[in-house]
Structure 1
């Protein structure tokens, strides 16, 4: 009876025929919505906000509390010699029985412990080949050479190795040597699979999985953190000088790695720092990830450590007026205004081309 009376009283605060002022009752928001970042007024206010957003990322990825870091059982094999660097195949277990695969680039003739870079790829995959299209890209100024222009993901790693950085590029789920979870599940899911959404048997993207915060984004985030463990544990790597850079889906992974782990010292999240489109693949989204926040604020969690990015003729094209000014303001608040850079290259589409690699 008391409950009924309370409902009647509360109902009286909302005039008949009107909708209560509740954000949950507003228009639905998807990844193509607006995700502005409002910089707090003080450093203390930002520290409080940043702690809350980090926890939100941990929960949304299913990584709170953080799972046990089981032995990687890493295998490094198949060495290929190049004049300035070597390339080796890698496989390790991010959790027992689940393998992460990739390529490890190491500089030649560089003694001691070296800086290192994690290089997540996007949805083109690490083996993407632009083929004959590279000739037009050279004419347009996006690339300089056919070899590196055809294979930009590998060119990035080779460039970093020539610069003296141990570099690791690993496969997103379903790409190249990662075959345990197929691309059709990890990146192309559009319909529920019969029999995989019951309380005793379910798969990714099912109601049961979402209720348990089990997602492809979470698995890829965990794979990325274990990739960081792998790279930091190499005897020739200085674990205090590790950077992260990737573009598109790899840009999303860069943002999340830097939000989840304090070890990276520098970052270049390319092609995904924007107040508009937040990630067009199912692997870039998870329940609760961007409620009340977005990619610009998630990128801001890395402040005041140095990071850079570009604006291109894609969903990042307004970054110089929507997003970057707020990042610059936050960095200034933290006493490091010059540590964040965004360079507009609006004459290029979505990319990690030669011009962008030169900025990296």
Structure 2
């Protein structure tokens, strides 16, 4: 039906009289309204898939009945969780050092440094009681505070624990406090002058959520993300705690707020040493994030977790029946309280099935998001109950004094990365990739290309062309120009997102079929006298398409871009939600490319399908290359412009621009972009104007 439609259109358009270019409107899709205008069509389609995944998980949860069922569920999810973050490395020496000591009223503090990776240090403060040891040890991962462990709320939580007979270790996460991984060459004024976030050091450039996600961008091609490194920091911090002679290694707790609640949830699920846990202002069901604020920053999204059936509640279920307190704020606008209660009910039923209903509980403060005083007191009482076997009430001193950032400083310079010999985690990733590069070279030197192609297909998840249904086609208008016509088309593949397209039809066809994909949108190079017209004037039929999150399908006015300083592009939420569903934007777009190319290839019913010239510019180029590599017979030539040269550059570069959209989880375990050129056919691939991974989008300049 598509062939007949286009043949009819071709004949009809050849007799339509030209209209003035000044009146041209190259927009194809109707204006969006309501929820679609807010979230965008691509996000809505992914959101629908997420809801289907939620329903499937709920069905699985309801079928868990016995303690044996619970244990099997826990093992399956723990194994999945470890695999998806890339597993953990071998433990190496901590090489701990005590840098300084402070004295408080009823407690003392040691500023300490230890290595979570060789040459990569953690800066931390150990709060100790003044009573005789041994003490339980409580790990306190930080939330998204700019100054990390020095944040007043986290200091007060640690002081409260120490004054009640428990040691507390609070450490800087990567990208916070003294552990920023992206520093400017010169003192940076970006955050000064009354800005909302004041950096802990003049060389700091970005807020911590941006840094966390930049590090995920570096890690995803290696098959991990920032969560792996954040969890490992926590586990190594427990290693340090239990190495101290004052600490009872059998009485370990963990509590943290917001991003620290995320890490508390992760650590308590995966590290069996955590006997008592109290995640604060994080526990909600994923549906409430997806439907309201969208996915959070890099470490808070685990590859494929929604598709597999792992929700935020499962971090509590995985550790049952160990004691867990859910701490929440009624007015939390990020982690919705309704979702928190839904999570708690799931946990309570799960613990009951295991025979220990009393070991999970909830407290709710009439407060906004944050480690507010009632939640600090509640978590301290929970640790007091389960680690000291005491039930005495615990109250915090009003306006408890805290130390300055400088007093709690562990590094020489205020940023550990500036100290001699320190290695960034980007350097760690680069080293990991160098090892994988040797393995890739051996694979590609010894493997038949057809076998290699299937390995690429398996890692990327891109479906074979024969598995992609033919799209629906809808006419949306016409434009006439001298010697050719433009047909506006809406191409709707089976995923349901309409792809706007412009079909350029010359009066006399004597050239090639060209699929034209511009990262800035199909309208670029579509004006009279521009690049597409030059092709059409020589007799080429050109189909210019906006694949998902390009042009009319891009959420250009994403209101939450600010937290990432534009480093992640306008479609972060779409990329993150696809990632949670076990897919990449590269995969989604490559399948759009294949559907559009096949449509163009066989549009004339009286002729045999013929190969298409594929031209991709900028943001579309990586997906286009994947399409050409996996279905080389569909394309006669492949012209790629403004494409990055290698994911290796993404891995080792701290400050990438809009590269999340180009990543494929775990790709570097099997292939890099030059390998795809080999699969597509080096003789027909032309790459021009290679792009830097630090190049800004045109809209950012």
Q: 1:341 and 1:187 mapped to 2: Cα distance?
A: 29
In structure 2, relative to structure 1, the CA distance for the partners of 1:190 and 1:82 (3 Å cut) is: closer
- Aligned pair 1:242/2:220, yes or no? no
Which residue pairs with 2:140 in the alignment? Answer: 119
In structure 2, relative to structure 1, the CA distance for the partners of 1:184 and 1:59 (3 Å cut) is: farther
Q: 2:280 aligns with which of 254, 270, 280?
A: 270
Q: 1:53 aligns with which of 73, 77, 80?
A: 77
Deviation, 1:344, is 2.8
Which residue pairs with 2:655 in the alignment? Answer: none
In structure 2, relative to structure 1, the CA distance for the partners of 1:184 and 1:50 (3 Å cut) is: same
Q: 2:298 and 2:162 mapped to 1: Cα distance?
A: 32
Q: 2:301 and 2:98 mapped to 1: Cα distance?
A: 32
Contact 2:99/2:112 (CA < 8 Å) preserved in 1? Answer: yes
Deviation, 1:114, is 1.0
Deviation, 1:221, is 1.0
Deviation, 1:317, is 0.8
Deviation, 1:184, is 3.9
Contact 1:91/1:99 (CA < 8 Å) preserved in 2? Answer: yes
Which residue pairs with 1:324 in the alignment? Answer: 344
Contact 2:212/2:299 (CA < 8 Å) preserved in 1? Answer: no
Q: 2:223 and 2:112 mapped to 1: Cα distance?
A: 29
Q: 1:316 and 1:353 mapped to 2: Cα distance?
A: 16
Q: 1:282 aligns with which of 287, 291, 298?
A: 298
- Aligned pair 1:28/2:52, yes or no? no
Question: Equivalent residue of 1:358, what SS?
Answer: helix
Q: 2:67 aligns with which of 35, 43, 61?
A: 43
Contact 1:306/1:339 (CA < 8 Å) preserved in 2? Answer: yes
Contact 2:213/2:297 (CA < 8 Å) preserved in 1? Answer: no
- Aligned pair 1:92/2:109, yes or no? no
Q: 1:299 aligns with which of 310, 316, 324?
A: 316
Q: 1:191 and 1:242 mapped to 2: Cα distance?
A: 29
More helix by share: 2
Q: 1:289 and 1:181 mapped to 2: Cα distance?
A: 28
Which of structures 1 and 2 has the bigger CA Rg?
2
Give per-residue Cα distances to partners, 1:293-352, cap 9 Å, x unaligned: 11111221111011102332222311464111111011111111011111233x311121
Q: 2:262 and 2:91 mapped to 1: Cα distance?
A: 23
Q: 1:212 and 1:107 mapped to 2: Cα distance?
A: 42
Contact 2:225/2:298 (CA < 8 Å) preserved in 1? Answer: no
Q: 2:362 aligns with which of 321, 342, 352?
A: 342
Which residue pairs with 2:524 in the alignment? Answer: none
Which residue pairs with 1:354 in the alignment? Answer: 373
Unpaired stretches in structure 2, ≥5 consecutive residues: 1-43, 184-204, 380-701
Give per-residue Cα distances to partners, 1:14-39, cap 9 Å, x unaligned: xxxxxxxxxxxx94249x97857525
How many pairs align? 297
Contact 2:213/2:299 (CA < 8 Å) preserved in 1? Answer: no
Deviation, 1:191, is 9.7
Q: 2:212 and 2:96 mapped to 1: Cα distance?
A: 34
Tell me which of the two structures has the higher relative contact order, counting C-alpha pairs closer than 8 angstroms and 6 or more residues apart: 1
Q: 2:266 and 2:158 mapped to 1: Cα distance?
A: 20
Which residue pairs with 2:86 in the alignment? Answer: 62
Unpaired stretches in structure 1, ≥5 consecutive residues: 1-25, 129-150, 193-202
In structure 2, relative to structure 1, the CA distance for the partners of 1:189 and 1:93 (3 Å cut) is: closer
Give per-residue Cα distances to partners, 1:238-284, cap 9 Å, x unaligned: 01101000010000000111111111110001111111228622232
Map 1:40-189 → 2, pairs under 5 A: 40-63=64-87, 66-108=88-130, 110-124=131-145, 125-128=148-151, 151-180=152-181, 184=206, 187-188=209-210
Question: Equivalent residue of 2:180, what SS?
Answer: coil
Contact 1:61/1:221 (CA < 8 Å) preserved in 2? Answer: no
Deviation, 1:62, is 1.5
43-52 or 280-289: bigger deviation: 280-289
Deviation, 1:177, is 1.5
Question: Equivalent residue of 1:359, what SS?
Answer: helix
- Aligned pair 1:309/2:330, yes or no? no
Map 1:174-213 → 2, pairs under 5 A: 174-180=175-181, 184=206, 187-188=209-210, 204-206=216-218, 209-213=219-223
Which residue pairs with 1:196 in the alignment? Answer: none
Contact 1:173/1:181 (CA < 8 Å) preserved in 2? Answer: no
Which residue pairs with 1:5 in the alignment? Answer: none
Q: 2:339 and 2:328 mapped to 1: Cα distance?
A: 6
Question: Equivalent residue of 1:188, what SS?
Answer: helix
Which residue pairs with 2:519 in the alignment? Answer: none
Q: 1:307 and 1:52 mapped to 2: Cα distance?
A: 20
Q: 2:170 and 2:239 mapped to 1: Cα distance?
A: 14
Give per-residue Cα distances to partners, 1:213-247, cap 9 Å, x unaligned: 23222111111110111111110000110100001
Contact 2:128/2:166 (CA < 8 Å) preserved in 1? Answer: yes
